[in-house]
Amino acid sequence: MNERNTRISRRHFLKGSAAVTTLGSLAGCALLQEDFGGEEIDGIPDEPFRIVQVLFESGPPAFYGEEAMNASDMLVDQINEDGGLIGEREIEVVDRLDEDAGPDSLISDVQAMAQEGEVDMLMGIISSAHSLAVAPAADDQQFPFLVTMPGTYQLFEENPDMEYVVRTAGTNAAGAVGAVRMVEQMDDIETVVTVDPDYAWGHDHQEMFEAGLEAVGVDVEIIESRYPELGETDYSAHVSAIADQEPDLLFSSLWGGDIATFVSQGVDGGLFEAVDESLLIGDTGAPLLNSLGDAMPENVWLGGRGGYQPNYRYDEDESHREFVDEYYERYDQLPGWGAYHEWMGFQALQEGVESAVSIIGDWPTGEQLMAAMNNIAFEAPHGQHTMYGPQAVAPAVFGRPTDDHDLPVDHPLLGEFEFIEATEVNPPQDVLTMDWVDELEPVTG
């Protein structure tokens, strides 16, 4: 490996602590002014607030579903131990739909549940492609849907009029543009190879990354873009081809089992000795680091949308520390990507219910509840997690693999964290993502 002086400027990147504020007053004004019509609800219902989750229970992404179910079970127990939502209405997860059934089956299930009227909210979903199919179907049925994980920026850009859908996950712009911001501050990066899964998720990341680099005027050349098939098991051809080119930087949005397999085979094939730096923005959480163990190379930055690392601000943030400790005590492992996204979803639900009831005086209708989750902010491991209307914006957080941590696991976690503010990696509200990326301005200061 060539010796490089790769430096990240800390002038522009905060270390990741922001005061948590709430924008509930904005949601409240909309809630008071909006004429929703429909049947109002008197008081607080005695029956539980009924949720159906949609996640992968089978297939390759099922480990994300397991994390999400673990976190949901834990959080529901905690909320109910305090009396439930606003301390008065318990939550019940009445069913879980397996995403592996595919979008047509999920849409049929959503339509049936909406017609039966026995479920208060649909929550979850992992696949961006599935969210693009299921969310509009839920909105058509006026069935509240709290989307917690998918990052495709197209969700609301292609469906701008949805009133029954809220997403508490940041979009994939935070990861791709966050990577641009990292490259912007690096020295001696001239050549780049990108490796992304061969479907919309991967192509979107590559497109945003390349367009962002060009917009900010970074003098680098993407010498090749490679697109392995989703679920690829043999990356040897990709590893050899990239290693032969010896790029200064490797960028990848591979996720799940794909990124674990790619990194493992890359280590065996000498890939990370042939490249100077890597930016991996797919799955970068504790379960990935656990699966790779000591095989995880040191010359990588892992990160993306949100500070969802169990040791990130662990000592500074009491709520994060409690979440990590309780999850570890229950499941003997640290929370990963799926668990953190469910936590954000349940926080938004609690904030929305509290805001709506404080304004209305009664339990909100489905449409009122979704409106109350617009334009709020709540605490997250990365500080303030803010909703722009129905869509969360997240900062980008990157770190280096390290064994230097105090959590009770014998595998690396991330350290040397770099925090990039949400305003630097997300378009302003009502601005289309790619229009913004094409006009992206360099960080100055």
pLDDT digits (tens, 9 = 90+) for 379-410: 999 988 999 999 999 999 999 999 999 999 99
Dist CA 185 CA 73 (whole Å) = 41
Average pLDDT over residues 208-218: 96
34 or 358, greater pLDDT: 358
Q: Which stretch of DSSP H or E encloses residue 414?
A: strand 413-420
Give the number of C-alpha atoms closer than 13 A to the C-alpha of residue 73, restricted to the C-beta side: 11
Dist CA 30 CA 355 (whole Å) = 12
Range of the domain at 282: 173-305+395-438
Residues 152 and 65 in one domain: yes
Q: Which of 211-225, 279-293, 332-346 has the lowest mean pLDDT?
A: 279-293
Residues 166 and 189 in one domain: no
Determine the pLDDT at residue 10. 34
Dist CA 195 CA 203 (whole Å) = 10
Determine the pLDDT at residue 37. 54
Determine the pLDDT at residue 63. 87
Q: Check pLDDT > 80 for residue 437.
A: yes
Residues 411 and 294 in one domain: yes
3-state secondary structure of 74: helix
User: Is 30 part of a structural domain of the chain?
Assistant: no
What's the order of all strands across the beta sheet hosting 49-55? 91-98, 49-55, 121-124, 145-147, 165-167, 391-393, 383-388, 377-380
Q: Check pLDDT > 80 for residue 166.
A: yes
Residues 181 and 84 in one domain: no
Residues 240 and 265 in one domain: yes
Q: What is the band of 120 on the pLDDT scale with cuts at 50, 70, 90?
A: very high
Summarised one tens digit per residue, pLDDT across range 214-264 is 999 999 999 999 999 988 999 999 999 999 999 999 999 999 889 999 999
Asked if 175 and 304 count as a contact pair (C-beta separation under 8 A), the reply is: yes
Residues 341 and 362 in one domain: yes
Residues 344 and 410 in one domain: no
Q: Which of 2-16, 151-165, 181-195, 323-337 has the lowest mean pLDDT?
A: 2-16
Summarised one tens digit per residue, pLDDT across range 413-435 is 999 999 999 999 999 989 999 99
User: Is 24 part of a structural domain of the chain?
Assistant: no
User: Is 427 part of a structural domain of the chain?
Assistant: yes
Residues 135 and 198 in one domain: no
Average pLDDT over residues 145-162: 96
Average pLDDT over residues 122-130: 95
If one counts the domains in the chain, the total is 2
User: Is 27 part of a structural domain of the chain?
Assistant: no
Among residues 393, 413, 430, the one where a domain terminates is 393
User: Is 6 part of a structural domain of the chain?
Assistant: no
Determine the pLDDT at residue 13. 36
Q: Check pLDDT > 90 for residue 34.
A: no
Q: What is the band of 213 on the pLDDT scale with cuts at 50, 70, 90?
A: very high
Q: Mean pLDDT in the chain?
A: 91
What share of the chain in percent tops pLDDT 90? Answer: 83
CATH for 156: 3.40.50.2300
Q: Check pLDDT > 90 for residue 284.
A: no
User: Is 407 part of a structural domain of the chain?
Assistant: yes
Average pLDDT over residues 94-104: 96
User: Is 330 part of a structural domain of the chain?
Assistant: yes
Query: How far lies 101's CA from each of 64, 151, 385, in Å?
Result: 16, 20, 32
Residues 229 and 244 in one domain: yes
Residues 298 and 323 in one domain: no
Residues 115 and 78 in one domain: yes
Q: What is the pTM of this model?
A: 0.91
Q: What is the band of 28 on the pLDDT scale with cuts at 50, 70, 90?
A: low
Determine the pLDDT at residue 61. 87
Residues 207 and 246 in one domain: yes
Q: Check pLDDT > 50 for residue 15.
A: no
User: Is 409 part of a structural domain of the chain?
Assistant: yes
